[in-house]
């Protein structure tokens, strides 16, 4: 957990310093910062993650690198779906909606086509990796609080 938190913290710092761009294994990939509130703790959380642009939505994938358990941020979104994201230098208020059925399958297949690691994550686990659409609400948001905790 500490290693993941350190990894996330470094990526968040790099994301913000470089206007939403990351290097290393994420170089050239679309990445956003997801701001959630802990479902149990109530603590503010920030998670960097790849996304798939889908018209006006941002699709994110609860892969947790193929773990047999969904990531904490997924449960946070189920409990409190009104959140915000940072995309580049912009903060966007969004509502999280889980995709189901053929819509989910099509979105996941496209992400796996673009980034084959996602297909590998699905092969590693028995669970169906959730796909969540982050839909802008059009509501204004304040600049992100840069002190939130990171989590896996």
Confirm whether 150 is domain-assigned.
Answer: no
Number of domains composing the chain = 1
Confirm whether 146 is domain-assigned.
Answer: no
Confirm whether 103 is domain-assigned.
Answer: yes
CATH of the domain at 75: 2.30.110.10
Confirm whether 152 is domain-assigned.
Answer: no
Taking only the tens place, the pLDDT of each residue in 65-124 is 999 999 999 999 999 999 999 999 999 999 999 999 999 999 999 999 999 999 999 999
Q: Are 131 and 108 in contact (CB under 8 A)?
A: yes
DSSP 17: H
Query: pTM here?
Result: 0.87
Taking only the tens place, the pLDDT of each residue in 24-50 is 888 889 999 999 999 999 999 999 999
Confirm whether 148 is domain-assigned.
Answer: no
Confirm whether 147 is domain-assigned.
Answer: no
The parent domain of residue 47 ranges over 2-141
**Closest of 143, 141, 140, 134 to residue 56, by C-alpha:** 134
């Amino acid at each position: 957990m500490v290693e993941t938190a350190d990894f996330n913290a470094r990526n968040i710092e790099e994301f913000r310093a470089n206007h939403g761009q990351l290097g290393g294994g994420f170089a050239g990939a679309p990445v956003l910062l997801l701001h959630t509130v802990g479902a149990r703790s109530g603590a503010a959380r920030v998670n960097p993650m790849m996304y798939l642009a889908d018209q006006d939505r941002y699709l994110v994938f609860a892969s947790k690198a193929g773990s047999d358990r969904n990531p904490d941020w997924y449960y946070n979104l189920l409990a409190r779906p009104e959140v915000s994201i940072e995309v580049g230098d912009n903060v966007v208020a969004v509502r999280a909606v889980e995709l189901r059925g053929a819509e989910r399958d099509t979105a996941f297949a496209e992400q796996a086509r673009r980034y084959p690691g996602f297909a590998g994550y699905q092969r590693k686990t028995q669970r169906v990796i959730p796909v969540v659409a982050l839909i802008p609400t059009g509501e204004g948001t304040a600049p992100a609080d840069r002190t939130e905790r990171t989590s896996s």
